[in-house]
Amino acid sequence: MFKHYPAAYQPSPGTAFEVDKAFYDRIRHQPEGRTLVEAFEVPIRTGRAWQVPADHVFRVTAPHGPQVGDFNVWNAQDPRERLWAARTRQLQGAHVSTHDRLWSNLPFLRPLLTITDDTLASYGTDEHGGRIHDLLGTRCDPYVNKLLTGEDFHHHCHSNLTRAVLPHGLTEFDVHDVLNIFQVTGLNEDGMYFMKACPAQVGDYLEFFAEIDVLCALSTCPGGDLSVALWGPEKQDPLSVCRPLGVEVYRLSPELLDGWRSPERAPYRGNHGLEVVKPAWER
């Protein structure tokens, strides 16, 4: 076992990286202060996109048992702002849970979502170093699959997300590195990425608070619960271990939102040290 080494990113007290845990705990512990406004299931090997207004919460649920979901999120008003998985890994961790935030890309750099509840928070770290709700990896895609197997398959998470966002005016180029919900992953002794069988059971969920208006998209991974090998000499067809995922969106009562305000984009306005030089005819 390696000795503990401190994280690189250590925020100073009173900065934007502090989380008001009492506020998010209030949301979690007062279910009577919410009203269900939308609920649906995403069938196996498909994707779906939906909008969530700021100050609402939503859950990704496992209504039929273990199943991994690949999740993307954008600013609903300006999709140039979207989840930045790499920076979120650095600021929150390679795996996320309650009170962690999903941060947006530059030049915006603000929390898009904050996790308010996680029924699998107790999973912790298993005997292989695996943890749940993964930001280490990314979505499966037909390009890598073609290189690995020589076969075309059109229902990888990248393709599912691409189809899901087309009605919202986005394209394949807008699909980005994901949060793998309910997915257990880690790095082995060779530093190689591994995936393990999903531990989610019927009724488990991961819940988020929308800090701004967001567009979300979710793919039900074609690998299902990842309990069988997807590539290599032990490859199997995982169709039998594929299950739908659920989504529930809730409106919160005004009392629960007391003291909250939507985060502003990062305040840096330094123009990267560049100077604007006026044309000669304007001097």
At 131, is the secondary structure helix, strand, or coil?
Answer: strand
Tokens of 274: 């560049």
Q: Spell out the residues 6+ positions from residue 219 whose beta carbon is closer than 8 angstroms to its own.
A: 42, 46, 47, 69, 70, 71, 139, 157, 160, 161, 164
Contact 200, 245 (CB under 8 A): no
The confidence score (pLDDT) of residue 1 equals 60
Q: What is the pLDDT of residues 27-70, one digit of tens each?
A: 999 999 999 999 999 999 999 999 999 999 999 999 999 999 99
pLDDT cut 90: percent of the chain above it: 88
| Sequence-ordered list of residues with C-beta below 8 angstroms from that of 90, at least 6 positions apart, any chain | 8, 9
CB 62 within 8 A of CB 245: yes
What is the chain's alpha carbon radius of gyration, rounded to the nearest angstrom?
20
Residue 229: the pLDDT is 87
Question: What would the 3-class secondary structure string for 196-251 be?
Answer: ECCCCCCCCEEEEEECCCEEEEEEECCCCCCCCCCCCCCCCCHHHHCCCEEEEEEE
Mean pLDDT of the chain: 95
| Cβ neighbourhood burial of 71 (10 Å; 0-12, 13-18, 19+) | buried
Q: How many residues appear in the chain?
A: 283
| pLDDT tens per residue across span 75-92 | 999 999 999 999 999 999
Residue where the block lists tokens 């390009």: 143
Q: Is the pLDDT of residue 232 over 90?
A: no
Q: Identify the band that residue 12 occupies on the pLDDT scale cut at 50, 70 and 90.
A: confident
Provide the CA 90 distance to its chain's centre, in angstroms.
Answer: 14
Whether 219 contacts 3, CB under 8 Å: no
Q: Is the pLDDT of residue 93 over 70?
A: yes
pLDDT of residue 234: 84
Query: How confident is the model over 189-202, as a mean pLDDT?
Result: 96
Question: pTM for the complete prediction?
Answer: 0.95
